[in-house]
Amino acid sequence: MEFLNEIEIDDEVKSQLASKVQEEIQRKIDLEVSGLKSKNDELIAERIKWQEEREKVAQAAKREAEEKAKSENDYKQLFESQKAEADQLRSVIDRMNQDISRQQINGEASKIAATLTKDVNKAKLLQQQISSRLTLVDNEIRVTDEGGQLTVSSLDDLTQSIKNNYPFLVDGSQAQGGGAVRAQGRAEARNKELTRAEFEGLSHAERQQFFENGGKLYDE
């Protein structure tokens, strides 16, 4: 307030003027401070609102991720459960098919054994030997060798082989005389003959076995 000292007025008036000026300055300062405080409060409010919005977005993203993970986990569990059920069902079907195949083989072996002996115990032993030489291919009973490989041998060939290898278990042929021998000879000859078309349908191993058994080809 030094400029008031340069004015020639009463001290009382100077004091009053100085007080007025001081009040005006203080009012302006208060207004300025109030404005700054209001602006600061506004900025703080906006910051709080922005933080709240960001938190909402983060929570929404988290819930979405959790729901997606849960959905994927549920799908995975459902897939694994269905796969396990399918595998179990497939295993049951395979066992059933194997049982059916074994029953067919055992049934055929039992019929052949019954033609070779009337003794029940001998028939059981023969059935075991015969069934070990049989397999099922495309629902057709085929003869294998002792190693389990397919052959071109017929059931009649297998029956004759069993007779030769286990004569002590066989009662003997029910047919007697030269007629039976000739019939057996004709059957064996037919079993060792194939048409070229039938021969072409054999595998390489079956063809080799066919010739090793003395097989011959003939034209239709």
Q: DSSP characters for 142-199?
A: EEB-TTS-B-S--HHHHHHHHHHH-GGG----S--SHHHHHHHHHHHHHHTEEEHHHH
Residue 94 in any domain: the answer is no
Note whether residue 172 is domain-resident.
no
Token duo for residue 70? 């849960």
What percentage of the chain has pLDDT greater than the value 90?
6
Its pTM stands at 0.42
- Residue 79, pLDDT > 60, answer yes
Retrieve residue 140's tokens: 């057709």
Least confident interval from 8-17, 200-209, 210-219: 8-17
* The pLDDT of residue 186: 42
In a domain, residue 183? The reply is yes
* Domain edge (last residue) among 27, 62, 81: 81
pLDDT at 174 over 50: no
Q: Is residue 189 part of a domain?
A: yes
Which amino acid is present at 123? A
At residue 134 the predicted structure's pLDDT band, cuts being 50, 70 and 90, is: very high
pLDDT at 121 over 70: yes
pLDDT of residue 3 exceeding 60: no
Domain count within the chain? 2
The last residue of one of the domains, among 49, 81, 113, is 81
Residue 93 inside a domain? The answer is: no
Phi first, then psi: give them for residue 171, nearest 5 degrees: -70, -25
For 1, 21, 22, 32, 35, the CA distances from 28, given in Å and listed in that order, are: 17, 11, 10, 6, 10
Structural domain including 22 reads: 2-81
